[in-house]
Amino acid sequence: MSDNISRTARLRQLLRRGSEGSTAIEQAAGADPVPAAPEPVGEKAPPKRVCPRLPAWVFTLSGSDMQKMLDYSGVGNANRAVRREVPVADTIPPALTVTDYLAHRQRSVAIRLIMDCAEQHKPGSVLEFVRRCDADELRRVWAGTVGAEALIATATAGPIPVLALLAAELLDRAHRWQDLGELGRAAESVGYRANQLFREYVHADEIDARKAAWGQDAKVPHQQRI
């Protein structure tokens, strides 16, 4: 009889322990899981088909030089032996209204605000230039400069979003300047400094190799004619 009682007591203890263990497991399962720490995500640059890359020397230009490059339309004779007529940077397009005229002038002020800031704040890429096409960003860059607020207000006043249009214009030009020929002609339209920077960017050996290849291609039809 005592053996049965002891066995019953031990069985109850085992059942009690089992029920306590299962309860603890259920409580642990029902508890909210501890959120895992998010994995660090690095910033990804937009693809070139959306935001093209340009050589760094382009963004060392002054605001006046950058405006000349943007205003270059590629009009002229394709023959490099003939001197091309390049448009004047300050040429005003046909203005339909006074608002159009003022927007063109605001564009010039905006280009200078972006490119002629302190050296450590100059944009270094197409993406940084586009980011500067924002009034708040320009205020941050020009903070502490006397009269900066008035200049930014001058560039952004009116119904036409000049800064947004300037960002779109640079993106369009940058896609064209992916062609080294287009970039070289735009640099030539600016003047000596931009032209020299372009020549330093394109390695001299590469230019000579291209000239040699062109010379060989040019001799073939000439020999055939003889």
Residues 84-109 have pLDDT tens digits of 555 444 455 666 788 888 888 999 99
| Other C-beta atoms lying within 10 Å of the C-beta of residue 143 | 10
CA dist list (Å): 51 to 54, 161, 163, 174, 198: 10, 20, 17, 8, 21
Q: CA 141 to CA 163: how far, in whole Å?
A: 15
The predicted model gives 10-35 an average pLDDT of 57
On whether residue 80 sits in a domain, the answer given is yes
On whether residue 79 sits in a domain, the answer given is yes
Provide the domain limits for residue 154.
56-225
Give pLDDT, residue 38.
61
Tens of pLDDT along 55-73? 999 999 999 999 999 988 6
Q: CA 164 to CA 23: how far, in whole Å?
A: 63
Q: Is the model's pLDDT at 12 over the cut of 70?
A: no
Instruction: Tell me the pLDDT band of 226, cut-offs 50, 70 and 90.
Output: very low
Q: What is the dihedral sign for C-alpha 66, 67, 70, 74?
A: negative
Please state the domain count of the chain. Answer: 1
Q: Is the model's pLDDT at 19 over the cut of 80?
A: no
On whether residue 217 sits in a domain, the answer given is yes
Q: What is the dihedral sign for C-alpha 127, 167, 105, 192?
A: positive
On whether residue 135 sits in a domain, the answer given is yes
Q: CA 210 to CA 202: how far, in whole Å?
A: 11
**For residue 210, what are its two tokens?**
């291209």
On whether residue 3 sits in a domain, the answer given is no
On whether residue 22 sits in a domain, the answer given is no
User: How many Å separate Cα 140 from the centre of its chain?
Assistant: 18
On whether residue 14 sits in a domain, the answer given is no
Looking at residue 143, the DSSP 8-state letter turns out to be T
On whether residue 123 sits in a domain, the answer given is yes
